[in-house]
Structure 1
């Protein structure tokens, strides 16, 4: 560094709080601030700037109306939206999730659980044994998705839904909305799927004896072309 610039740089470092000036009788010395103190100063300045930006944006930006349906692409974008919804939940969260996404959202779900949020999880992979990835009340049942996609549904407090699909190539598309109809439909889908699978599991091999043939036929033909004929057996 050219000697002519040294005092200019020292002055800027002093303004930023990175060094301290010690004025002596014959000379002036500069010493660095302790690393931890410097980090705290930087954090403080950043928080002040962040709060100022937040207040400014609130004044110029209208509140987003999420009763529209917002589309998003990209796996990380979907996970970021899921984390935001989980972190903002107050009472309950309803989830339909695969282990990979359960692991990615694990820290957020754990914090929600510690806040007292009730978590209901439908494990779409039907893991044969309990694992540490899913949180809350976990129900493990097979759900046959379309075109082998992994699905993710996050419904916090029954107010909003994030629903996404990840195809085998990793391409991800998701929607997010406050629309009551879609929130209720998705919540009922998860809850009723859990209820049906639990009942079928409890009936086991007695299903044919306890259920009428007409009932079995109706259940087996609910979604022709989408769900295979053996889906009742895999549902348990």
Structure 2
């Protein structure tokens, strides 16, 4: 009962109101004393709580043989009422925020930190959905699986290009990065990049690493990282054409390039 009471509080009920309604659903028509005993609401507060619910139309009060009895609004009716209220509130908030957003003075180019798995995935999906012309990406298997449905749907109207790591049978026009010792041993450096229309992008740690991601509409960031992806795609294509000679040379050159001087 505690869990459902806590969740009802997310819909705008206070703690006692949530407990009282849940108890009434469980008990059926009851007296204030019975509701107080079942819910743990102090007897000194129970009438005040029930009166508040009665005003909301969620509890019905009846006089039965001179004694007050309380009944809950049927669950289906209650849920439908809450859903309708939520939809109206959501629509109102959405419209107002969009109106403010349009009036907002365009800020300087920026980089914003995004934290949390759900926030990062939601931001990725929003960017993918608002792409008009093209999406360029570099992404590893776990993040790819989280976003593949959104990418597949958007590919019907947008160009989708880029490179994927450790992904089998990716969407059309995505290049699978070749298997190398570096890729197999990369550990927690599985960064992702999603760039939209050459104007904005999100990049950073994949969600399974619980790190941060970053959103930017800065031209320099977008250009640099899109070109980084293109060079990765290009090298993979060159190696595919001449794998026997190029791969050992690339591995040696990379090691030498990033080696720290002693």
Which category describes the TM-score, using the shorter chain as reference length? 0.5 to 0.7
- 2:240 corresponding residue in structure 1: 201
Unaligned 5+ runs, structure 2: 1-35, 37-47, 61-70
Instruction: For CA contacts below 8 A with separation 6 or more, give which structure has more relative contact order.
Output: 1
Match of 2:23 in 1: none
Whole-angstrom CA distance in 2 between matches of 1:137 and 1:79: 22
1:221 pairs with 2:256? no
Match of 1:91 in 2: 133
CA separation of 1:56 and 1:192: change in aligned 2, threshold 3 A: closer
- Alignment: residue pair count: 211
Q: Of 157, 179, 182, which aligns to 1:116? A: 157
How big is each residue's C-alpha offset from its partner over 1:6-39, in whole Å with a ceiling of 9 and x where there is no partner?
xx9999889868799xxxxxxxxxx999977765
Deviates more, 1:72-81 or 1:34-43: 34-43
Report the Cα offset of residue 83 of structure 1.
1.6
Distance between the aligned counterparts of 2:176 and 2:127, measured in 1?
23
Pairing 1:97-112 to 2, within 5 Å after superposition: 97-112=139-154
Match for residue 229 of structure 2 among 190, 196, 215: 190
Post-superposition offset of 1:71: 2.0
**Is the 2:191–2:205 contact (alpha carbons within 8 Å) kept by the matching residues of 1?**
yes
Provide the C-alpha distance between the structure 1 equivalents of 2:172 and 2:108, rounded to a whole number of angstroms. Answer: 27
State which of 202, 212, 216 in structure 2 corresponds to 1:173.
Answer: 212
In the alignment, which of 123, 126, 129 is matched to residue 81 of structure 1?
123
SS at match of 1:176: strand
Verify the 8 A CA contact 1:121 1:136 in the aligned structure 2.
no
Aligned mates of 1:121, 1:14 — CA distance in 2: 59
Whether contact under 8 Å (2:128, 2:135) holds in the other structure is yes
Query: Unaligned stretches of 5+ in structure 1?
Result: 2-7, 21-30, 209-215, 228-236
Decide whether aligned partners of structure 1 residues 32 and 86 sit closer, same or farther in structure 2, where only a CA change above 3 A counts.
Answer: same
Tell me how far apart the structure 2 counterparts of residues 36 and 222 of structure 1 sit (CA, whole Å): 64
Q: CA RMSD in A?
A: 4.4
Q: Name whichever structure is richer in helix by fraction.
A: 2
CA distance in 1, matches of 2:176, 2:150: 21
Is 1:52 matched up with 2:88? no
After TM superposition, give the deviation of residue 176 of structure 1 in Å.
1.2
CA distance in 1, matches of 2:76, 2:162: 42
